[in-house]
Structure formats: C-alpha cells, structure tokens
Chains A and B, each alone.
Chain A
Amino acid sequence: MHGIMKPDRKIMIISTASVAGREEEAGPLGGSFDLTDTKDDSFGMKTWEKAESEMQRLALGLALSKASLTDDDVGALFAGDLLNQCVGSNYGLSGYKIPYFGLYGACSTAAEGIMLSALTCDAMPVRAAAVTSSHYCAAERQFRYPLEYGGQRTPTAQWTVTGSGAFIVSSVEEDAEKRRGTRVPVITEWLPGYVVDRGITDVNNMGAAMAPAAADTIKRYFDGGHSPEEFDMIVTGDLGHEGSDILCELLLSERIDISKVHTDCGKLIYDAAAQDKHAGGSGCGCSAVVMAGHILRNICDGVLNSILFIGTGALMSPLALNQGSSIPGIGHLLHIKGEVL
C-alpha cells in the first residue's frame, strides 16, 4: 500500500526548540527562534564543530525544559548532523542520560528523526526526542573550501544554515491529559523515502539532486488516494529556489499540481533580496529550525491545519564524488495535523 504508515496511537509533538546563528536571526524568520548567537556563531566554543555540538545541547535542553521534562522522561533520542562521524550529535548530546541512536540522513535528518520517534511512540506509550543541526562554518570546512578561501558561488548554490532544532514526540496518555483543550501538532501519517540517484554531480546544485527524491515520495503518497488540495501547506526541507521549481515541474509532469501550496524551508529562512544566499538555505538545521520555530508554531496557533513536511536530503560524500559517483537524494514525508485534544 505505497508504504504509507498510520499510527494506532495518538502521536503528538509536545515540545520543540530552535537555536540559530546570526544570519538566520537576520532573516525573515529571525523572531521565531528560541535562542541565537548574534555575535559570531561560535556559541562560546573554540571550534566550529564544538559550536555545532553546543547548539544541539542547548536545543534539546530547551525542548525538555519547555515541556518540564527531565532525561528520565524520554525513552529514546534520535540525532544526527552533517559532520563526519556525526560529531555534532555525539558530543553535544553526551551529557544527556537518554538512550541514544545516531543517524545520518544528511539534510533529511530532522524528518528522519521525527519519523523514527513516531515509530517508537507508536510501538509503546513513550516519549522520544529528535535533534539535528548544521553549522555553516563547520560544513564549509568539511564539504567545500576553508572559510577564508576566496571563491565564487554559482546562482544555484545553497547556503548551509547555522542552527539546531529539537522535537519531543510523545504517545504518553498523561501528556495528552495535560494538554486537553489546546491545539497540538499530531503526526497522523508518514512515508519513508527511497534513495533516489538521478546522476547529478554538481555540488553547487543540491536542489536538483534532491528534487527527484522528494517528487518520488510525494507521488507515492498521492498515489495512495490523497490530493494536494487537502493540505494547507506542502513544505520541503531544503530544496531551495532551484530545487523547489524543479520539484513542482517534475510533479506537474505526473499531473500533480502542488505549486499553490508548496513552500520550502530553504526559501523561507533567508531574505532572497537582502541576503546574498543564492538559491536559499540547506543543511540539517534548515528544516529543523524552520519546522521547530515557525511552522509547528503556526500549527499550534491554528494558522495552519494540515501539512505535509518532506524532509529532503542530499546524501553527498566528497570522497564518492571524487571517485566519480553522483549525489543521491532522499525525501521523508510526514503528515502533521493541528488537533485540539
């Protein structure tokens, strides 16, 4: 049945937190983040990698305290980032006494973590947390050039978001009781993506590498009997301006028109006119901070009711690229609804 999963339990996103850098603070969603480092994106740390770890530590801490939870209240922690060996998560979350599962889903990690949290919460009444991050400076060093290197970007290149988002997902009855009468984001369906590789090798056009994966997952979802009109918003993770246009065109060729309700976290996070970010934001932090801050808040406030979130990831490896391989993409789909409990 197209692989769409529906939970038996009510799976709520009971708390979120977002931590971001100064470029994100200066963008249109600047006010929606819980915490920002407007000074130098270092979060008081000596290296960019440690700064990224610190963002994850802060994000999870904030998400827990917002819901008045301690480590013991959470049964599983799914986290990952872009750095080699996922050091952002491994070091940042090492102080928490929560069973930990490290993930690598590139920029789709937020969606992947929430999905695995939902799966866990469907299996038993438990709380699970999903945390992810990316840091522009750490990602540049690892994937592109040294920070001070004088290079030019092409118009389709994207900008790695400095930010971390944490989500606490719960199927515990007591959490629902506590929130009676309030609007809470509820995960009603999810559809994991396939790895889709359409032969794109241009690291400066990640949107094009990811768009076919997102299109594939969305098409499989709509083949299951849904139509784009049922949703207030179909939001992709970090396709950026270029990838978003490609996605809409790819789906249109399959006679699925999402252009009226589609938006993308990479398009929302920066001001295309005022900030020199080319095709928009990317990275694990991109969808994480936009979902945790702006979009899920809009669901709680009733501005949005029913949305599809497709976490997109470019599973790019500099080593594989040098060996002549192309960039595979992935898109994980979540259906999130605002529900008055």
Chain B
Amino acid sequence: MSYFLAFAVGGLLCAAAQILIDKTRLTPARILVAYVVIGVFLGAVGLYRPILDFAGGGAATPLTGFGYVISKGVKESVDRDGLVGALTGGLTASAGGITAALFFGLLASLVFRSKPKK
C-alpha cells in the first residue's frame, strides 16, 4: 500500500508540473525553482510533514521534498542556535543532496563528453 501511495502522490506532483510546462510559459528551470520554494513554504506552515508521512518516497523525491528538507533544517537550527540558525539550517540539511549532485557532476564532466542528438 505504501508503494502505491508513493507512486500516486509522486506521479501527481509530476503531472501537475507537466500541466504547468505545457499550458503556461514556465520554463523547466522556473518549475524547479517554484517546486523548491513551494516545498519550503509547505514545510514552514506544517503541511508537508503529513504528506510525507502519507506518501513516503512519493513526497520525498520530488523537489518539493528538497524544499521541505530545507525548511525542516532551518526550524531545527533556529530551535537549537537561535536566529543564526536561519542562516545555517537550510544548507546544512540539504548539504548531502547538493554536494552529491555537484561532485558527481564534476566527475561526470571528467569522464564523459556530450554527444550529438537525433
């Protein structure tokens, strides 16, 4: 059942973005930015945690989940360190994902080269 929920919620979040791409002038980069910011917002108002509990990977994997991680990190840091936590919490919580993407990206640029397309 949890797998079905992950599939359905994750799929719906993607389908919603597809409608935005096809029906509006939003470029993919703007969609990504919007999804992260929406994730931060939903996390901040306490709405994302229930979705995450409900859908697991379906809510954690889309970029809204990335935004939620940032908001969660900020909240925990502020609780622990006070105002300075607002500056440290976001990057600390999302450090794993960002560093992995950048470092693997660098490795990929060492190994691969872009190919012509069909």
Q: Is the CB of A152 within 8 A of B21?
A: yes
Q: Is the CB of B28 within 8 A of A151?
A: yes
Partner of A148, one of B25, B28, B114: B114
Least CB separation from B18: chain A residue: A152
- In addition to A42-B116, A136-B116, A146-B114, 8 A-B residue pairs with Cβ atoms within 8 Å of each other are A22-B116, A40-B116, A137-B114, A147-B114, A148-B114, A151-B28, A275-B118, A276-B118
Which residues between 14 and 31 of chain B lie within 8 Å of chain A, taking CB atoms? 21, 25, 28
Least CB separation from A41: chain B residue: B116
Residue from B28, B115, B116, B117 having most chain A Cβ neighbours under 10 A: B116
Least CB separation from B108: chain A residue: A148
Could you tell me the distance between the alpha carbons of A294 and B7 in the complex, rounded to whole angstroms? Answer: 52
Q: Is the CB of A147 within 8 A of B115?
A: yes
- Count the A residues whose beta carbon is within 8 Å of the partner chain — how many? 18
Q: Is the CB of A137 within 8 A of B21?
A: no
Give chain A nearest CB distance to B25 CB in angstroms.
Answer: 8
Chain B window 88-118, contacts with chain A (Cβ cutoff 8 Å), 1 for yes, 0 for no:
0000000000000000000000000011111
Which size class do B's interface residues fall under? under 10
| Interface residues in chain B, defined as those with a beta carbon under 8 Å from any beta carbon in chain A | 21, 25, 28, 114-118
Which residues between 126 and 185 of chain A lie within 8 Å of chain B, taking CB atoms? 136-137, 140, 146-148, 151-152, 162
Q: Is the CB of A147 within 8 A of B21?
A: no
Could you list 20 examples of A-B contacts with CB < 8 Å? A22-B116, A23-B116, A23-B118, A40-B116, A41-B116, A42-B116, A136-B116, A137-B116, A137-B117, A140-B117, A146-B114, A147-B114, A147-B115, A147-B116, A147-B117, A148-B115, A151-B28, A162-B116, A202-B25, A276-B118
Could you tell me the distance between the alpha carbons of A146 and B21 in the complex, rounded to whole angstroms? Answer: 19
Secondary structure type dominating chain A contacts:
loop
Least CB separation from A137: chain B residue: B116
Could you tell me the distance between the alpha carbons of A91 and B63 in the complex, rounded to whole angstroms? Answer: 43
Q: List chain A residues, Cβ under 8 A from B117.
A: 136-137, 140, 147
Q: List chain B residues, Cβ under 8 A from A162.
A: 116
Give chain B nearest CB distance to A272 CB in angstroms.
Answer: 15
Least CB separation from A148: chain B residue: B114
Could you tell me the distance between the alpha carbons of A23 and B118 in the complex, rounded to whole angstroms? Answer: 7
Q: List chain B residues, Cβ under 8 A from A136.
A: 116-117
Could you tell me the distance between the alpha carbons of A162 and B118 in the complex, rounded to whole angstroms? Answer: 11
Least CB separation from A40: chain B residue: B116
Tell me, yes or no, whether A21 is within 8 Å of chain B by CB: yes
Which residues between 11 and 69 of chain A lie within 8 Å of chain B, taking CB atoms? 21-23, 40-42
Least CB separation from A201: chain B residue: B25
Least CB separation from A21: chain B residue: B116
Could you tell me the distance between the alpha carbons of A146 and B114 in the complex, rounded to whole angstroms? Answer: 8
Give chain B nearest CB distance to A141 CB in angstroms.
Answer: 8
Chain A window 74-93, contacts with chain B (Cβ cutoff 8 Å), 1 for yes, 0 for no:
00000000000000000000
